[in-house]
């Protein structure tokens, strides 16, 4: 029998609900299920839920509830089937693989034994899902990089990587939103706006969305900026 879910107290106002110790579609579906149930049926004292790969951080008001009570409420929600299955929204991200915008494309090709065009084809063929948001605004971690492209991170990070860079490491892909350092492999750049000028919806993606990359030319990239 699986030991999951596991509930871990975090300070006096949160609980971490773990659905596994490795990233699997089943564990992430459980995360999304509880996140959706809390959105539709918030329990007493519930403040906020933050989904990750295999766990969900649930913040609550310690004046209104406590760890024991919130665990009871969360177990009840986990056991309930969703009243309706939420459709997975498909998002499109444009990407240009021009050599100047993809400084690591040739090295990724060398390390994987593929041609640069085969690397591009494999990246476009990935089945991408938004698993979580990371440390920077709009920094969405997409799972679904195909096995033939999966490489460990670089030994040394590169500074001042431009916003919009399409980067991969392991089974994950990110479209950067700010200039920042990264040790991931830079294989393209996107003009698609991830940060949205809308306080109610600040990012293009929601956790659980599907993402499809679409190749564009350098001229189209420049025109879309």
pLDDT tens digits, one per residue of 98-155: 999 999 999 999 999 999 999 999 999 999 999 988 888 889 999 999 999 999 999 9
Enter the tokens of residue 222: 């420049």
Residue 85 has pLDDT above 70, yes or no: no
To which H or E segment does residue 50 belong?
strand 46-51
Q: Is 114 exposed, middle or buried (0-12, 13-18, 19+ CB in 10 A)?
A: middle
What lies within 8 Å, CB to CB, of 80 at 6+ separation is 37
- Tokens 């306080």 appear where? 199
% of the chain with per-residue pLDDT over 90 = 80
Residue 211's alpha-carbon distances to 35, 125, 197, in angstroms, are: 20, 11, 20
90-224, what's its fold? Cyclophilin (2.40.100)
pLDDT band at 182 (very low <50, low <70, confident <90, very high): very high
User: Which of 201, 150, 197, 192 lies closest to 171 in space, CA to CA?
Assistant: 150
Query: Where exactly does CATH 3.30.1360.40 map onto the chain?
Result: 6-79
CATH class, range 6-79: alpha beta
What band does 86 get if pLDDT is binned at 50, 70 and 90?
A: low
Measured between alpha carbons, how far is 149 from 166 in angstroms, rounded to an integer?
13
Q: How far is CA 110 from the centre of its chain?
A: 27
pLDDT band of 63, cuts 50, 70, 90: very high
- State the span(s) of the chain assigned CATH 2.40.100.10: 90-224
> To which H or E segment does residue 142 belong?
strand 140-143
Q: Is the peptide bond before 113 cis (omega within 30 degrees of 0)?
A: no
Record the tokens describing residue 119, joined without a space.
């690397």
Cut 0.85: pTM above it = no
Distance (Å, rounded) from C-alpha 9 to C-alpha 16? 6
């Amino acid at each position: 029998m699986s030991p999951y879910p596991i509930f871990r107290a975090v300070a006096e106002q949160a609980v971490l609900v773990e659905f596994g110790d490795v990233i699997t579609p089943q564990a992430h579906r459980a995360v999304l299920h509880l996140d959706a149930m809390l959105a539709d049926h918030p329990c007493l004292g519930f403040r906020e839920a933050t989904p990750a790969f295999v766990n969900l951080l649930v913040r609550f008001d310690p004046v209104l509830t406590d760890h024991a009570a919130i665990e009871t409420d969360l177990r009840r929600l986990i056991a309930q089937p969703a009243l309706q299955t939420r459709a997975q929204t498909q998002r499109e991200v444009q990407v240009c693989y021009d050599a100047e915008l993809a400084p690591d494309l040739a090295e990724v090709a060398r390390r994987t034994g593929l041609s640069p065009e085969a690397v591009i084809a494999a990246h476009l063929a990935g089945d991408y899902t938004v698993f979580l948001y990371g440390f920077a605004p709009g920094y969405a971690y997409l799972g679904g990089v195909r096995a033939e492209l999966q490489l460990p991170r670089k030994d040394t990070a590169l500074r001042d990587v431009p916003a919009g860079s399409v980067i991969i490491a392991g089974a994950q892909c990110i479209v950067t939103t700010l200039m920042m350092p990264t040790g991931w492999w830079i294989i393209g750049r996107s003009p698609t706006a991830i940060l949205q000028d809308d306080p109610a919806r600040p990012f293009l993606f929601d956790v659980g969305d599907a993402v499809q990359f679409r190749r564009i030319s350098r001229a189209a990239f420049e025109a879309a900026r």
